[in-house]
Structure 1
């Protein structure tokens, strides 16, 4: 009987640190890992962050991996096994995906993989700033075998205890690990050997977010861009991408009102903005960015 390839699902809300965790895994795990990514937004920013790290990738594009892309997902899994024969497969879902249908499909339909576990990444700081747990986030927490409570350095000890209590009230089975920038012992994420059976999902998607992108070949003024990033309001929940300044190109990450820049090799400015009813602010946001072009 053929050995099934272990497959781990990484899920979690927008900006919780899923791609940062993937980068840590790729830097520390000495295995041949195949990554499947499903992103929300027109530009596959996360795929470009991961690219070039000796991994085989299938970028599933926009949409939700737990609904319209199930057929494509199965084909991608089989193709990767045929062409790459990886030691481990990791699926990163978009932050707006409800993973229960994906987990059910893996258990029922994919004969060549075994579901090793579901890892849900949660942003501790965002849990403090936005304490109401939405429909999608709740399903992501419920599906977890392991919850990676990320960015714990940004909250107090009492806040951390309150977050853990809330997570335990939603999922009393999952183990909770703490991390800063996704740094965790990978041995705690793999080899879980999930023994729970996922029942068929009975949900209808409740679209909470929309997105738009901005690209330019121009160089942006760094001070102007910093003021722009500081001005992003709560209706922009997540922004990410690459920004070209005169001194080089940087990876830009914005989530829950917090942002940072990291030097990164890329070709031009490409940004994706994700939020609620964002189409109403698209022209205004792009106008502010154009003012930063030099």
Structure 2
């Protein structure tokens, strides 16, 4: 009888660096990895970022894997193991997922896999700007076997010490590993094999964020787009996607007021905006983006 496939759950708040970590893992790990991705938003931006790598991908959209998509999740895992038979299976949850319900489902309903561990990615800079840990983020931290404290280059030593103390108070067991752009030895992430007994949950998940998407075939003026990105309101916590400029398409990453652009493969403009009451701002944001189109 073949051994059970090790499964790693990758969780963490919106914009913490989960997809950046996956890009790093796919670059340096010479094993067959399959990724099951659950994204927040109508467009699967992260899936498109990872396409073309030496990886098998499956996408769960239209809901949250920790509650409304559990049946689809189990079916997707079955299909991946039957068709790909990977050495490792990584499940990247949406940033608003609560992984304790997912862990229980893995243990109860998926005998063909073995939960290897839960990796929680934390944005150090985001935790400084927004020190109040919400319900979902707390569960993500408490569930982690490893807390990957990312973006530590953006905070001071004193801030880092304060953040580390806060994380330790929420999870006394997990290892806390500081990183910059999720650069880490992958041997630290796999083979955890922590035994855990996750109790059954009465799960009533009510995400505090909403999202909308924007697509266009237009080419955008970079100076105008820069001014647009700089002026996004504090209600927009996360934005990501692809933007076409005259010099080429760029990957746009916006988290808590900080953003960057990375030259990427050709693609049409596709953006997802995530935040509190963000749909109320959709008309204004779309109008401002259209004003940046090159004529």
TM-score bracket relative to the smaller structure: over 0.9
Deviations 1:250-289 (A, max 9, x none): 0000001000000000321000000001111110111110
1:76 alignment partner in structure 2? 76
CA contact 2:248–2:266 (8 Å) conserved in 1: no
What is the root-mean-square deviation of aligned Cα atoms in Å?
0.7
Deviations 1:40-68 (A, max 9, x none): 00100000000010211110113100111
Measure, in 2, the Cα distance between the counterparts of 1:197 and 1:2: 24
1:121 alignment partner in structure 2? 121
Q: In the TM superposition, what are the counterparts of 1:270-281 in structure 2 within 5 Å? A: 270-281=270-281
1:266 alignment partner in structure 2? 266
2:194 alignment partner in structure 1? 194
1:39 alignment partner in structure 2? 39
1:101 alignment partner in structure 2? 101
Measure, in 2, the Cα distance between the counterparts of 1:14 and 1:232: 17
Deviations 1:86-122 (A, max 9, x none): 0000000000011111000001110110000000000
Cα displacement (A) at 1:203:
3.2
Measure, in 2, the Cα distance between the counterparts of 1:266 and 1:74: 34
The alignment of Structure 1 onto Structure 2 pairs a total of residues equal to 294
* TM-score, normalising length: structure 1: 0.99
Q: For structure 2, list consecutive stretches of 5 or more residues without a partner in the other structure.
A: none
3-state SS of 1:53 partner: coil
Deviations 1:202-241 (A, max 9, x none): 3311220000011100000000000000001110000000
Measure, in 1, the Cα distance between the counterparts of 2:197 and 2:8: 15
Q: For structure 1, list consecutive stretches of 5 or more residues without a partner in the other structure.
A: none
Matched, 1:248 2:225: no
Measure, in 2, the Cα distance between the counterparts of 1:136 and 1:99: 9
Measure, in 1, the Cα distance between the counterparts of 2:60 and 2:75: 11
3-state SS of 2:14 partner: coil
1:143 alignment partner in structure 2? 143
* TM-score, normalising length: structure 2: 0.99
Measure, in 2, the Cα distance between the counterparts of 1:94 and 1:258: 20
Measure, in 2, the Cα distance between the counterparts of 1:209 and 1:220: 28
